[in-house]
A = this chain, B = another copy of it.
Amino acid sequence: MTREPKQDRSRVTRLRLLESTIDCLAELGWGATTVSVVAERAGVSRGATQHHFPTREDLITAALEYMFDARMEEARRESAALPTGAGRTEAVVSRLVDYYTGTLFKAALQVWTAAAADPELRARVLPLEERFGRIAHRTAVEHLGVDDKDPLTHRLVQATLDLARGLGLADVLNDDSRRRSEIVRQWSLQLDIALAASSRA
Contacts and interface: CB of A to CB of B under 8 A. Distances in A.
B166 A29 contact: no
Interface in A75-119: 106, 109-110, 112-118
Interface residues of A, number: 46
Interface in A16-36: 26-32
A152 B186 contact: yes
A113 B115 contact: no
A56 interface: no
A182 interface: yes
A169 B172 contact: no
A127 to B, nearest CB: 11
Interface string A135-154: 00000000000000000100
Contact of A163 (B27, B113, B122, B163): B163
Contacts of A113: 29-30, 109-110, 113, 172
A100 B10 CA distance: 44
A172 B125 CA distance: 12
A162 B161 CA distance: 11
A59 to B, nearest CB: 18
Nearest to A161: B166
6 contacts: A29-B114, A30-B31, A112-B173, A152-B186, A163-B163, A163-B166
Interface of A: 26-32, 106, 109-110, 112-118, 122, 125-126, 129, 152, 155-156, 158-159, 161-170, 172-174, 179, 182-183, 186-187, 190, 194
Given A109-B113, A110-B113, A169-B169, 19 more contacts: A26-B117, A27-B117, A28-B117, A30-B113, A31-B31, A31-B114, A32-B117, A106-B116, A112-B173, A125-B173, A161-B166, A162-B166, A162-B183, A164-B166, A165-B166, A165-B170, A166-B166, A166-B169, A190-B194
